[in-house]
Amino acid sequence: MSDAVKVGFVPLSVAPRGILVVFCDEGLKFGAATRKALGSAADLVGKAAATSRFKGKSGSMLDILAPQGLKVSRLLVIGVGKVSSLKSSDYLKFGGAAASKLAPGSNAMTIIAELPDEAIKTEQAVAVASGVRLRAYRFDRYKTKKKDDEQGVLRADVAVADVAGARKAFGPAGHVVDGVIMARDLVNEPPNVLHPPEFARRATQLRKLGVHVEVLDVRAMTRLGMGALLGVAQGSAHPGRTVIMRWNGGKRGETPIAFVGKGVCFDTGGISIKPAGSMEDMKGDMGGAACVVGLMHALAARKARVNAVGAIGLVENMPDGNAQRPGDIVTSMSGQTIEIINTDAEGRLVLADLLWYVAKKIKPKCMIDLATLTGAIMVALGTEHAGIFSNNEELADRLTQAGLETGERVWRLPLGPEYDKLIDSQFADMKNTGGRHGGSITAAQFLQRFVDDTPWAHIDIAGTAMGAPKSDINQSWGSGYGVRLLDRLVADHYEKK
Ligand code: BES
Ligand code: MN
Ligand code: ZN
Protein backbone atom coordinates (compact mmCIF):
# COMPACT_ATOMS: atom_id res chain seq x y z
CA MET A 1 0.00 0.00 0.00
CA SER A 2 1.57 3.27 -1.05
CA ASP A 3 0.10 6.44 0.31
CA ALA A 4 0.81 9.67 -1.50
CA VAL A 5 0.06 11.60 1.67
CA LYS A 6 0.82 11.25 5.35
CA VAL A 7 -1.95 12.53 7.58
CA GLY A 8 -1.56 13.51 11.23
CA PHE A 9 -3.28 15.55 13.93
CA VAL A 10 -2.04 18.70 15.63
CA PRO A 11 -3.56 21.14 18.16
CA LEU A 12 -5.86 23.92 16.93
CA SER A 13 -3.31 26.48 18.07
CA VAL A 14 -0.53 25.16 15.80
CA ALA A 15 1.27 27.52 13.41
CA PRO A 16 0.05 26.44 9.94
CA ARG A 17 2.54 25.23 7.31
CA GLY A 18 2.36 25.14 3.53
CA ILE A 19 -1.27 25.45 2.53
CA LEU A 20 -3.74 26.63 5.15
CA VAL A 21 -7.23 25.16 4.82
CA VAL A 22 -10.15 26.64 6.75
CA PHE A 23 -13.91 26.16 6.70
CA CYS A 24 -16.70 28.71 6.71
CA ASP A 25 -20.49 28.54 6.50
CA GLU A 26 -22.95 30.28 4.21
CA GLY A 27 -22.70 33.44 6.26
CA LEU A 28 -18.92 33.46 5.71
CA LYS A 29 -18.55 32.85 9.42
CA PHE A 30 -15.40 31.26 10.87
CA GLY A 31 -14.67 29.61 14.19
CA ALA A 32 -12.55 31.20 16.90
CA ALA A 33 -9.31 29.28 16.23
CA THR A 34 -9.69 29.99 12.52
CA ARG A 35 -10.14 33.71 13.13
CA LYS A 36 -7.03 33.64 15.25
CA ALA A 37 -5.04 31.84 12.55
CA LEU A 38 -6.22 34.32 9.92
CA GLY A 39 -5.50 37.37 12.08
CA SER A 40 -5.34 40.50 9.98
CA ALA A 41 -5.72 38.41 6.81
CA ALA A 42 -9.44 38.09 7.60
CA ASP A 43 -9.87 41.36 5.74
CA LEU A 44 -8.22 39.93 2.67
CA VAL A 45 -10.57 36.94 2.75
CA GLY A 46 -13.57 39.25 2.92
CA LYS A 47 -12.37 41.19 -0.14
CA ALA A 48 -11.46 38.08 -2.12
CA ALA A 49 -14.83 36.56 -1.30
CA ALA A 50 -16.66 39.64 -2.51
CA THR A 51 -14.60 39.80 -5.72
CA SER A 52 -15.21 36.16 -6.60
CA ARG A 53 -18.76 36.08 -5.22
CA PHE A 54 -17.79 33.32 -2.84
CA LYS A 55 -20.61 32.88 -0.35
CA GLY A 56 -19.52 29.76 1.55
CA LYS A 57 -21.98 27.52 -0.27
CA SER A 58 -21.46 23.80 0.13
CA GLY A 59 -18.96 22.56 -2.46
CA SER A 60 -17.50 26.00 -3.18
CA MET A 61 -13.89 27.02 -2.54
CA LEU A 62 -11.96 30.25 -2.32
CA ASP A 63 -8.32 29.78 -3.25
CA ILE A 64 -5.92 32.62 -2.40
CA LEU A 65 -2.27 32.34 -3.44
CA ALA A 66 0.49 33.91 -1.35
CA PRO A 67 -1.99 35.55 1.06
CA GLN A 68 -0.61 38.78 2.47
CA GLY A 69 -0.13 38.79 6.24
CA LEU A 70 0.04 35.00 6.49
CA LYS A 71 3.13 32.81 6.58
CA VAL A 72 1.60 30.22 4.28
CA SER A 73 1.89 29.69 0.54
CA ARG A 74 -1.81 29.43 -0.05
CA LEU A 75 -5.07 29.92 1.79
CA LEU A 76 -7.97 27.66 0.92
CA VAL A 77 -11.37 28.57 2.28
CA ILE A 78 -13.86 25.73 1.91
CA GLY A 79 -17.55 26.54 2.07
CA VAL A 80 -19.66 24.03 3.96
CA GLY A 81 -23.09 25.61 3.41
CA LYS A 82 -25.51 25.24 6.31
CA VAL A 83 -23.78 23.62 9.27
CA SER A 84 -27.01 22.15 10.64
CA SER A 85 -27.62 20.09 7.50
CA LEU A 86 -24.19 18.43 7.29
CA LYS A 87 -24.05 14.62 7.02
CA SER A 88 -21.14 12.54 8.22
CA SER A 89 -20.10 11.76 4.63
CA ASP A 90 -19.79 15.52 3.97
CA TYR A 91 -16.71 15.63 6.21
CA LEU A 92 -15.00 13.07 4.00
CA LYS A 93 -15.70 15.33 1.04
CA PHE A 94 -14.22 18.37 2.83
CA GLY A 95 -11.01 16.42 3.38
CA GLY A 96 -11.07 15.36 -0.25
CA ALA A 97 -11.61 18.93 -1.47
CA ALA A 98 -8.65 20.10 0.65
CA ALA A 99 -6.42 17.34 -0.66
CA SER A 100 -7.22 18.34 -4.23
CA LYS A 101 -4.77 21.24 -3.75
CA LEU A 102 -1.94 19.19 -2.30
CA ALA A 103 1.06 19.39 -4.62
CA PRO A 104 4.80 19.06 -4.21
CA GLY A 105 5.29 22.80 -4.74
CA SER A 106 3.74 23.30 -1.34
CA ASN A 107 4.05 19.86 0.09
CA ALA A 108 2.56 20.54 3.50
CA MET A 109 -0.96 21.43 4.49
CA THR A 110 -2.66 22.39 7.73
CA ILE A 111 -6.41 21.91 7.88
CA ILE A 112 -8.15 23.66 10.74
CA ALA A 113 -10.96 21.28 11.64
CA GLU A 114 -13.33 23.85 12.93
CA LEU A 115 -16.71 25.14 11.88
CA PRO A 116 -18.21 28.49 12.86
CA ASP A 117 -18.74 28.49 16.61
CA GLU A 118 -17.00 25.25 17.46
CA ALA A 119 -14.29 22.70 16.83
CA ILE A 120 -15.79 19.81 14.91
CA LYS A 121 -16.26 16.52 16.71
CA THR A 122 -13.44 14.03 16.81
CA GLU A 123 -15.29 11.58 14.57
CA GLN A 124 -15.84 14.27 11.97
CA ALA A 125 -12.24 15.48 12.10
CA VAL A 126 -11.21 11.90 11.53
CA ALA A 127 -13.53 11.78 8.50
CA VAL A 128 -11.74 14.86 7.13
CA ALA A 129 -8.43 13.04 7.54
CA SER A 130 -9.85 9.92 5.83
CA GLY A 131 -11.10 12.09 2.98
CA VAL A 132 -7.58 13.45 2.45
CA ARG A 133 -6.16 9.95 2.12
CA LEU A 134 -8.94 8.71 -0.16
CA ARG A 135 -8.56 11.70 -2.46
CA ALA A 136 -4.76 11.51 -2.62
CA TYR A 137 -4.81 7.85 -3.73
CA ARG A 138 -3.51 7.17 -7.19
CA PHE A 139 -2.65 4.01 -9.05
CA ASP A 140 0.66 4.65 -10.78
CA ARG A 141 2.47 1.37 -10.22
CA TYR A 142 2.92 0.89 -13.96
CA LYS A 143 4.03 4.40 -14.88
CA THR A 144 7.79 4.38 -15.28
CA LYS A 145 8.03 8.12 -15.92
CA LYS A 146 6.36 10.06 -13.15
CA LYS A 147 5.54 13.71 -13.73
CA ASP A 148 6.87 16.27 -11.25
CA ASP A 149 3.52 16.56 -9.56
CA GLU A 150 3.28 12.82 -9.09
CA GLN A 151 6.33 12.44 -6.91
CA GLY A 152 7.12 12.54 -3.25
CA VAL A 153 5.10 12.03 -0.14
CA LEU A 154 2.99 14.94 0.98
CA ARG A 155 2.02 15.83 4.50
CA ALA A 156 -1.35 17.01 5.79
CA ASP A 157 -1.99 17.98 9.41
CA VAL A 158 -5.51 18.20 10.70
CA ALA A 159 -5.73 20.67 13.58
CA VAL A 160 -8.24 19.48 16.17
CA ALA A 161 -9.38 20.24 19.71
CA ASP A 162 -8.65 16.74 21.01
CA VAL A 163 -5.42 15.52 19.41
CA ALA A 164 -5.12 12.32 21.44
CA GLY A 165 -8.76 11.44 20.81
CA ALA A 166 -8.41 12.01 17.06
CA ARG A 167 -5.23 9.93 16.86
CA LYS A 168 -6.93 7.10 18.67
CA ALA A 169 -10.02 7.21 16.45
CA PHE A 170 -7.92 7.45 13.29
CA GLY A 171 -6.53 4.01 14.07
CA PRO A 172 -9.68 2.08 13.15
CA ALA A 173 -10.83 4.68 10.59
CA GLY A 174 -7.41 4.46 8.92
CA HIS A 175 -7.76 0.68 8.63
CA VAL A 176 -11.03 1.18 6.79
CA VAL A 177 -9.30 3.59 4.39
CA ASP A 178 -6.57 0.94 3.92
CA GLY A 179 -9.34 -1.54 3.02
CA VAL A 180 -10.77 0.85 0.42
CA ILE A 181 -7.31 1.42 -1.06
CA MET A 182 -6.68 -2.31 -1.17
CA ALA A 183 -9.95 -2.81 -3.09
CA ARG A 184 -9.06 0.01 -5.50
CA ASP A 185 -5.62 -1.48 -6.11
CA LEU A 186 -7.14 -4.87 -6.95
CA VAL A 187 -9.70 -3.35 -9.34
CA ASN A 188 -7.05 -1.21 -11.08
CA GLU A 189 -4.56 -4.05 -11.55
CA PRO A 190 -4.27 -5.31 -15.15
CA PRO A 191 -5.80 -8.72 -15.87
CA ASN A 192 -2.56 -10.32 -17.06
CA VAL A 193 -1.18 -9.73 -13.57
CA LEU A 194 -4.28 -10.32 -11.48
CA HIS A 195 -5.58 -13.69 -12.68
CA PRO A 196 -7.47 -16.03 -10.31
CA PRO A 197 -4.46 -17.77 -8.67
CA GLU A 198 -2.68 -14.44 -8.13
CA PHE A 199 -5.85 -12.88 -6.68
CA ALA A 200 -6.15 -15.86 -4.31
CA ARG A 201 -2.50 -15.45 -3.30
CA ARG A 202 -3.10 -11.80 -2.44
CA ALA A 203 -6.12 -12.77 -0.33
CA THR A 204 -3.93 -15.15 1.67
CA GLN A 205 -1.93 -12.12 2.83
CA LEU A 206 -4.84 -11.38 5.17
CA ARG A 207 -3.41 -14.20 7.31
CA LYS A 208 -0.94 -11.64 8.67
CA LEU A 209 -3.88 -9.95 10.36
CA GLY A 210 -5.19 -13.13 11.93
CA VAL A 211 -7.75 -13.93 9.23
CA HIS A 212 -8.14 -17.66 8.55
CA VAL A 213 -7.88 -18.07 4.77
CA GLU A 214 -8.77 -21.25 2.91
CA VAL A 215 -8.15 -21.56 -0.84
CA LEU A 216 -10.19 -24.11 -2.80
CA ASP A 217 -8.58 -25.20 -6.07
CA VAL A 218 -10.31 -26.84 -9.05
CA ARG A 219 -10.04 -30.29 -7.48
CA ALA A 220 -11.65 -29.16 -4.24
CA MET A 221 -14.40 -27.34 -6.12
CA THR A 222 -15.01 -30.39 -8.32
CA ARG A 223 -15.41 -32.52 -5.20
CA LEU A 224 -17.95 -30.04 -3.87
CA GLY A 225 -19.84 -30.22 -7.17
CA MET A 226 -19.48 -26.54 -8.07
CA GLY A 227 -20.40 -27.18 -11.71
CA ALA A 228 -21.76 -23.70 -12.35
CA LEU A 229 -18.58 -21.88 -11.30
CA LEU A 230 -16.34 -24.46 -12.95
CA GLY A 231 -18.26 -24.21 -16.23
CA VAL A 232 -17.23 -20.55 -16.44
CA ALA A 233 -13.65 -21.24 -15.38
CA GLN A 234 -13.02 -24.08 -17.86
CA GLY A 235 -12.29 -21.81 -20.85
CA SER A 236 -9.30 -20.15 -19.23
CA ALA A 237 -5.62 -21.07 -19.04
CA HIS A 238 -5.73 -19.76 -15.46
CA PRO A 239 -7.56 -22.18 -13.18
CA GLY A 240 -10.42 -20.92 -11.00
CA ARG A 241 -10.25 -20.54 -7.23
CA THR A 242 -12.66 -20.04 -4.36
CA VAL A 243 -11.31 -18.29 -1.29
CA ILE A 244 -12.99 -18.47 2.11
CA MET A 245 -11.83 -15.91 4.67
CA ARG A 246 -12.84 -16.05 8.32
CA TRP A 247 -12.40 -13.27 10.84
CA ASN A 248 -13.39 -14.35 14.35
CA GLY A 249 -13.38 -11.15 16.37
CA GLY A 250 -16.72 -11.79 18.01
CA LYS A 251 -17.90 -14.23 20.64
CA ARG A 252 -16.60 -17.76 20.26
CA GLY A 253 -19.09 -19.88 18.37
CA GLU A 254 -21.38 -16.99 17.49
CA THR A 255 -23.03 -17.31 14.06
CA PRO A 256 -21.15 -15.16 11.54
CA ILE A 257 -22.33 -12.64 8.99
CA ALA A 258 -21.13 -13.49 5.46
CA PHE A 259 -20.00 -11.46 2.46
CA VAL A 260 -19.78 -12.98 -1.00
CA GLY A 261 -18.00 -11.43 -3.98
CA LYS A 262 -18.03 -11.97 -7.74
CA GLY A 263 -14.42 -12.25 -8.83
CA VAL A 264 -14.35 -12.49 -12.60
CA CYS A 265 -10.75 -11.40 -13.16
CA PHE A 266 -11.53 -10.77 -16.80
CA ASP A 267 -14.86 -11.07 -18.61
CA THR A 268 -14.54 -11.42 -22.38
CA GLY A 269 -18.10 -12.73 -22.46
CA GLY A 270 -16.75 -16.19 -23.38
CA ILE A 271 -18.18 -17.76 -26.55
CA SER A 272 -20.95 -15.11 -26.45
CA ILE A 273 -18.06 -12.71 -26.85
CA LYS A 274 -18.37 -9.01 -26.05
CA PRO A 275 -17.70 -6.29 -28.63
CA ALA A 276 -14.15 -4.83 -28.57
CA GLY A 277 -15.16 -1.31 -27.44
CA SER A 278 -14.23 -0.81 -23.77
CA MET A 279 -13.69 -4.51 -23.25
CA GLU A 280 -10.59 -3.55 -21.25
CA ASP A 281 -12.97 -2.35 -18.52
CA MET A 282 -13.82 -5.97 -17.84
CA LYS A 283 -10.63 -6.26 -15.79
CA GLY A 284 -12.81 -4.67 -13.10
CA ASP A 285 -15.34 -7.49 -13.15
CA MET A 286 -13.84 -8.68 -9.87
CA GLY A 287 -14.95 -5.52 -8.03
CA GLY A 288 -17.22 -7.54 -5.73
CA ALA A 289 -14.39 -9.84 -4.67
CA ALA A 290 -12.06 -6.84 -4.27
CA CYS A 291 -14.58 -5.24 -1.93
CA VAL A 292 -14.88 -8.39 0.17
CA VAL A 293 -11.08 -8.61 0.55
CA GLY A 294 -10.84 -4.90 1.41
CA LEU A 295 -13.66 -5.30 3.92
CA MET A 296 -12.07 -8.33 5.58
CA HIS A 297 -8.86 -6.32 5.84
CA ALA A 298 -10.72 -3.42 7.49
CA LEU A 299 -12.56 -5.67 9.95
CA ALA A 300 -9.47 -7.64 10.93
CA ALA A 301 -7.09 -4.67 11.12
CA ARG A 302 -9.44 -2.70 13.34
CA LYS A 303 -10.17 -5.87 15.33
CA ALA A 304 -13.92 -5.61 14.81
CA ARG A 305 -15.83 -7.50 17.49
CA VAL A 306 -17.69 -9.63 15.00
CA ASN A 307 -17.48 -13.04 13.39
CA ALA A 308 -17.42 -12.45 9.64
CA VAL A 309 -16.86 -14.72 6.65
CA GLY A 310 -15.80 -13.53 3.21
CA ALA A 311 -16.20 -15.83 0.21
CA ILE A 312 -14.97 -14.96 -3.28
CA GLY A 313 -15.25 -16.89 -6.53
CA LEU A 314 -12.31 -16.21 -8.84
CA VAL A 315 -12.49 -17.13 -12.53
CA GLU A 316 -11.61 -15.78 -15.94
CA ASN A 317 -14.36 -15.91 -18.59
CA MET A 318 -12.61 -16.73 -21.88
CA PRO A 319 -13.53 -18.11 -25.33
CA ASP A 320 -11.53 -21.28 -26.01
CA GLY A 321 -11.79 -24.77 -27.43
CA ASN A 322 -12.57 -25.90 -23.94
CA ALA A 323 -14.93 -23.05 -23.08
CA GLN A 324 -18.57 -23.70 -22.26
CA ARG A 325 -21.14 -23.15 -25.01
CA PRO A 326 -24.61 -21.67 -25.19
CA GLY A 327 -26.82 -24.73 -24.92
CA ASP A 328 -24.63 -26.47 -22.34
CA ILE A 329 -26.39 -27.62 -19.20
CA VAL A 330 -24.39 -27.51 -15.96
CA THR A 331 -25.23 -28.90 -12.54
CA SER A 332 -24.71 -26.50 -9.66
CA MET A 333 -23.57 -27.49 -6.18
CA SER A 334 -27.21 -27.18 -5.07
CA GLY A 335 -28.13 -29.96 -7.53
CA GLN A 336 -30.22 -27.56 -9.63
CA THR A 337 -29.40 -27.64 -13.34
CA ILE A 338 -28.78 -24.55 -15.46
CA GLU A 339 -29.08 -24.17 -19.21
CA ILE A 340 -26.48 -21.73 -20.50
CA ILE A 341 -28.17 -19.33 -22.94
CA ASN A 342 -25.47 -16.68 -22.94
CA THR A 343 -21.95 -17.36 -21.67
CA ASP A 344 -21.64 -13.64 -20.89
CA ALA A 345 -24.12 -14.04 -18.02
CA GLU A 346 -21.31 -15.72 -16.06
CA GLY A 347 -21.31 -13.79 -12.80
CA ARG A 348 -24.56 -15.34 -11.61
CA LEU A 349 -23.12 -18.81 -12.33
CA VAL A 350 -20.13 -18.12 -10.12
CA LEU A 351 -22.34 -16.70 -7.38
CA ALA A 352 -24.83 -19.58 -7.58
CA ASP A 353 -22.26 -22.03 -6.21
CA LEU A 354 -20.74 -19.56 -3.75
CA LEU A 355 -24.08 -18.54 -2.26
CA TRP A 356 -25.10 -22.18 -1.89
CA TYR A 357 -21.76 -23.06 -0.33
CA VAL A 358 -22.04 -20.22 2.18
CA ALA A 359 -25.72 -20.88 2.97
CA LYS A 360 -25.17 -24.60 3.59
CA LYS A 361 -21.61 -24.86 4.96
CA ILE A 362 -21.33 -21.59 6.89
CA LYS A 363 -25.02 -21.11 7.78
CA PRO A 364 -24.53 -17.39 8.45
CA LYS A 365 -27.10 -15.16 10.17
CA CYS A 366 -27.28 -13.27 6.91
CA MET A 367 -25.29 -12.98 3.69
CA ILE A 368 -24.62 -10.10 1.36
CA ASP A 369 -23.21 -10.53 -2.11
CA LEU A 370 -21.55 -7.85 -4.21
CA ALA A 371 -21.22 -8.24 -7.95
CA THR A 372 -20.56 -6.20 -11.07
CA LEU A 373 -23.44 -8.26 -12.39
CA THR A 374 -25.39 -6.40 -15.06
CA GLY A 375 -24.99 -3.53 -17.49
CA ALA A 376 -28.73 -3.00 -16.95
CA ILE A 377 -28.14 -1.65 -13.43
CA MET A 378 -26.36 1.33 -15.00
CA VAL A 379 -29.34 1.92 -17.29
CA ALA A 380 -31.59 1.94 -14.23
CA LEU A 381 -29.52 3.80 -11.63
CA GLY A 382 -26.51 5.36 -13.33
CA THR A 383 -23.41 5.56 -11.16
CA GLU A 384 -24.78 7.27 -8.05
CA HIS A 385 -26.50 4.29 -6.45
CA ALA A 386 -25.80 0.59 -6.42
CA GLY A 387 -28.89 -1.61 -6.82
CA ILE A 388 -29.95 -3.81 -3.93
CA PHE A 389 -32.28 -6.79 -3.89
CA SER A 390 -33.24 -8.60 -0.70
CA ASN A 391 -35.53 -11.23 0.78
CA ASN A 392 -35.32 -9.45 4.13
CA GLU A 393 -36.79 -6.03 4.98
CA GLU A 394 -34.54 -5.39 7.96
CA LEU A 395 -31.35 -6.12 6.04
CA ALA A 396 -32.46 -3.94 3.11
CA ASP A 397 -33.29 -1.07 5.49
CA ARG A 398 -29.99 -1.37 7.30
CA LEU A 399 -28.07 -1.26 4.02
CA THR A 400 -30.04 1.75 2.87
CA GLN A 401 -29.24 3.55 6.12
CA ALA A 402 -25.54 2.65 5.99
CA GLY A 403 -25.53 3.96 2.42
CA LEU A 404 -26.87 7.34 3.50
CA GLU A 405 -24.34 7.59 6.33
CA THR A 406 -21.30 6.70 4.22
CA GLY A 407 -22.36 8.26 0.93
CA GLU A 408 -22.08 4.82 -0.73
CA ARG A 409 -25.75 4.87 -1.54
CA VAL A 410 -27.97 1.96 -2.54
CA TRP A 411 -31.43 1.82 -4.09
CA ARG A 412 -33.76 -1.12 -3.62
CA LEU A 413 -35.30 -2.86 -6.63
CA PRO A 414 -38.01 -5.53 -6.59
CA LEU A 415 -38.02 -9.30 -6.61
CA GLY A 416 -41.12 -11.40 -7.31
CA PRO A 417 -42.45 -14.68 -8.69
CA GLU A 418 -43.57 -13.04 -11.95
CA TYR A 419 -39.94 -12.13 -12.69
CA ASP A 420 -38.79 -15.55 -11.57
CA LYS A 421 -40.83 -17.23 -14.32
CA LEU A 422 -38.69 -15.48 -16.91
CA ILE A 423 -35.73 -17.74 -16.12
CA ASP A 424 -37.57 -21.08 -16.34
CA SER A 425 -35.96 -23.27 -19.02
CA GLN A 426 -37.46 -25.85 -21.36
CA PHE A 427 -34.50 -28.21 -20.87
CA ALA A 428 -33.16 -27.61 -17.35
CA ASP A 429 -34.31 -26.25 -13.99
CA MET A 430 -33.52 -22.73 -15.11
CA LYS A 431 -31.66 -20.73 -17.75
CA ASN A 432 -28.98 -18.17 -17.11
CA THR A 433 -30.63 -15.18 -18.82
CA GLY A 434 -34.14 -13.78 -18.73
CA GLY A 435 -34.53 -11.78 -21.92
CA ARG A 436 -34.25 -8.08 -22.64
CA HIS A 437 -36.44 -6.57 -19.93
CA GLY A 438 -35.58 -6.15 -16.26
CA GLY A 439 -32.09 -7.57 -16.74
CA SER A 440 -30.87 -6.71 -13.25
CA ILE A 441 -34.01 -8.18 -11.67
CA THR A 442 -33.90 -11.51 -13.51
CA ALA A 443 -30.22 -11.79 -12.55
CA ALA A 444 -31.18 -11.28 -8.89
CA GLN A 445 -34.03 -13.83 -9.26
CA PHE A 446 -31.46 -16.30 -10.49
CA LEU A 447 -29.30 -15.72 -7.41
CA GLN A 448 -32.28 -16.05 -5.10
CA ARG A 449 -32.71 -19.66 -6.24
CA PHE A 450 -29.43 -20.42 -4.46
CA VAL A 451 -29.93 -18.74 -1.08
CA ASP A 452 -32.71 -20.93 0.32
CA ASP A 453 -34.17 -19.11 3.32
CA THR A 454 -30.96 -17.38 4.44
CA PRO A 455 -31.56 -13.64 4.97
CA TRP A 456 -29.77 -12.27 1.94
CA ALA A 457 -29.07 -9.09 0.03
CA HIS A 458 -27.53 -8.74 -3.42
CA ILE A 459 -25.74 -5.52 -4.35
CA ASP A 460 -25.25 -4.91 -8.07
CA ILE A 461 -22.17 -2.66 -8.24
CA ALA A 462 -21.60 -2.65 -12.02
CA GLY A 463 -22.16 1.14 -12.05
CA THR A 464 -20.31 2.04 -8.88
CA ALA A 465 -17.24 -0.21 -8.55
CA MET A 466 -15.34 1.18 -11.50
CA GLY A 467 -15.41 3.88 -14.13
CA ALA A 468 -17.75 6.08 -12.08
CA PRO A 469 -17.11 9.82 -12.47
CA LYS A 470 -14.24 11.20 -10.39
CA SER A 471 -15.38 12.60 -7.08
CA ASP A 472 -14.11 14.60 -4.11
CA ILE A 473 -12.84 11.41 -2.51
CA ASN A 474 -11.88 9.33 -5.52
CA GLN A 475 -9.83 10.21 -8.59
CA SER A 476 -9.09 6.64 -9.55
CA TRP A 477 -10.89 4.30 -11.95
CA GLY A 478 -11.49 1.68 -9.30
CA SER A 479 -13.53 3.19 -6.49
CA GLY A 480 -13.31 0.60 -3.73
CA TYR A 481 -17.08 0.92 -3.48
CA GLY A 482 -18.73 -1.11 -0.74
CA VAL A 483 -15.91 -1.34 1.80
CA ARG A 484 -17.07 1.70 3.77
CA LEU A 485 -20.73 0.78 3.30
CA LEU A 486 -20.37 -2.72 4.73
CA ASP A 487 -17.88 -1.75 7.42
CA ARG A 488 -20.50 0.72 8.63
CA LEU A 489 -23.24 -1.91 8.44
CA VAL A 490 -21.14 -4.21 10.63
CA ALA A 491 -20.21 -1.44 13.08
CA ASP A 492 -23.81 -0.26 13.45
CA HIS A 493 -25.58 -3.63 13.73
CA TYR A 494 -23.38 -6.68 14.14
CA GLU A 495 -20.59 -5.70 16.51
CA LYS A 496 -20.72 -6.31 20.23
CA LYS A 497 -20.23 -2.93 21.81
N1 BES B 1 -19.67 -8.17 -16.10
C2 BES B 1 -20.83 -7.98 -16.89
C3 BES B 1 -21.68 -6.80 -16.43
C4 BES B 1 -21.02 -5.45 -16.56
C5 BES B 1 -21.18 -4.72 -17.72
C6 BES B 1 -20.30 -4.91 -15.53
C7 BES B 1 -20.59 -3.47 -17.84
C8 BES B 1 -19.71 -3.67 -15.64
C9 BES B 1 -19.85 -2.95 -16.79
C10 BES B 1 -21.69 -9.24 -16.85
O11 BES B 1 -21.00 -10.42 -16.73
C12 BES B 1 -22.44 -9.29 -18.13
O13 BES B 1 -21.81 -9.47 -19.14
N14 BES B 1 -23.75 -9.15 -18.08
C15 BES B 1 -24.57 -9.18 -19.22
C16 BES B 1 -25.73 -10.09 -18.94
C17 BES B 1 -26.53 -10.47 -20.17
C18 BES B 1 -25.70 -11.34 -21.06
C19 BES B 1 -27.78 -11.17 -19.73
C20 BES B 1 -25.02 -7.76 -19.51
O21 BES B 1 -25.22 -7.00 -18.56
O22 BES B 1 -25.12 -7.41 -20.67
MN1 MN C 1 -20.38 -11.19 -18.60
ZN1 ZN D 1 -19.18 -10.31 -15.79
Residue 121 has pLDDT above 80, yes or no: yes
Torsions phi, psi of 138, nearest 5? -145, 155
Mutate to test the pocket of ligand 1, among 266, 274, 279, 285 (most ligand atoms within 8 A of CB): 285
pLDDT-derived band at 118, boundaries 50, 70, 90 = confident
Q: Whose CA is nearest to atom 17 of ligand 1?
A: 345
Sign of CA dihedral 481, 244, 192, 225: negative
Q: Render pLDDT for 232-263 as a digit per residue (tens, 0 to 9).
A: 999 999 999 999 999 999 999 999 999 999 99
Query: Which H or E run contains 482?
Result: none
pLDDT the model gives residue 70:
95
Residue 288 has pLDDT above 70, yes or no: yes
Q: Whose CA is nearest to atom 16 of ligand 1?
A: 345
How far apart are the C-alpha atoms of 390 and 394, rounded to whole Å? 9
Contact 304/493 with Cβ under 8 angstroms?
no
How are beta strands 307-317 and 241-248 bridged, if at all?
antiparallel
Task: From residue 214, give the alpha-carbon distance in Å to each of 205, 206, 210, 233.
Answer: 11, 11, 13, 19
Distance 412 CA to ligand 2 centre (A): 22
pLDDT the model gives residue 148:
63
Residue 473 has pLDDT above 70, yes or no: yes
Q: Whose CA is nearest to atom 14 of ligand 1?
A: 374
Ligand 1: atom nearest CA of 264 is: 1
Query: Which H or E run contains 182?
Result: helix 163-188
Q: Render pLDDT for 44-78 as a digit per residue (tens, 0 to 9).
A: 999 999 999 999 999 999 999 999 999 999 999 99
Residue 497 has pLDDT above 90, yes or no: no
Residue 1 has pLDDT above 60, yes or no: no
Q: Render pLDDT for 169-223 as a digit per residue (tens, 0 to 9).
A: 999 999 999 999 999 999 999 999 999 999 999 999 999 999 999 999 999 999 9
Ligand 1: atom nearest CA of 374 is: 21
Ligand 1: atom nearest CA of 284 is: 8
Q: Whose CA is closest to 280, among 201, 189, 406?
A: 189
Torsions phi, psi of 181, nearest 5? -65, -40
Residue 106 has pLDDT above 70, yes or no: no
Distance 269 CA to ligand 2 centre (A): 5
Residue 34 has pLDDT above 80, yes or no: yes
User: Count H helices, E strands: the chain?
Assistant: 15, 19
Residue 2 has pLDDT above 70, yes or no: no
Residue 353 has pLDDT above 60, yes or no: yes
- Hey, which residues are catalytic here? 274, 348
- What contacts 12, CB < 8 A, 6 or more positions away? 33, 112, 113, 114, 119, 159, 160, 161
Distance 345 CA to ligand 2 centre (A): 5
pLDDT the model gives residue 346:
99
Distance 374 CA to ligand 3 centre (A): 7
Distance 87 CA to ligand 2 centre (A): 37
Q: Whose CA is closest to 1, among 145, 157, 208, 147?
A: 208
Distance 338 CA to ligand 2 centre (A): 16
What ranges in 316-438 are assigned the alpha helix state H?
Answer: 347-357, 376-381, 393-406, 417-420
List residues near ligand 1 (CB under 6 A): 267, 285, 342, 344-347, 372, 374-376, 433, 439, 462
Contact 443/420 with Cβ under 8 angstroms?
no
pLDDT the model gives residue 401:
98
Q: Render pLDDT for 124-154 as a digit per residue (tens, 0 to 9).
A: 999 999 999 999 999 999 999 876 666 667 8
pLDDT-derived band at 165, boundaries 50, 70, 90 = very high
- Using alpha carbons only, what angle is made at residue 309 by residues 468 and 474, rounded to the nearest 5 degrees? 20
pLDDT the model gives residue 112:
97
What ranges in 437-480 are assigned the alpha helix state H?
Answer: 439-448
Residue 107 has pLDDT above 80, yes or no: no
Compute the average pLDDT of residues 7-18: 95
pLDDT the model gives residue 260:
99
Relative to the alpha carbon of 279, which ligand is closest? Answer: 1
How are beta strands 329-331 and 337-339 bridged, if at all?
antiparallel
Mutate to test the pocket of ligand 1, among 262, 268, 316, 374 (most ligand atoms within 8 A of CB): 374
Q: Whose CA is closest to 34, among 166, 128, 159?
A: 159
Residue 467 has pLDDT above 70, yes or no: yes
Q: Whose CA is nearest to atom 8 of ligand 1?
A: 462
- Using alpha carbons only, what angle is made at residue 424 by residues 357 and 329, rounded to the nearest 5 degrees? 60
Q: Render pLDDT for 382-402 as a digit per residue (tens, 0 to 9).
A: 999 999 999 999 999 999 999
Q: Whose CA is closest to 264, among 236, 225, 297, 296?
A: 236
Query: Which H or E run contains 92?
Result: helix 88-99
Ligand 1: atom nearest CA of 432 is: 19
Mean pLDDT for the chain overall = 96
Mutate to test the pocket of ligand 1, among 344, 369, 445, 479 (most ligand atoms within 8 A of CB): 344
Ligand 1: atom nearest CA of 342 is: 18
pTM of the model: 0.97
pLDDT-derived band at 81, boundaries 50, 70, 90 = very high
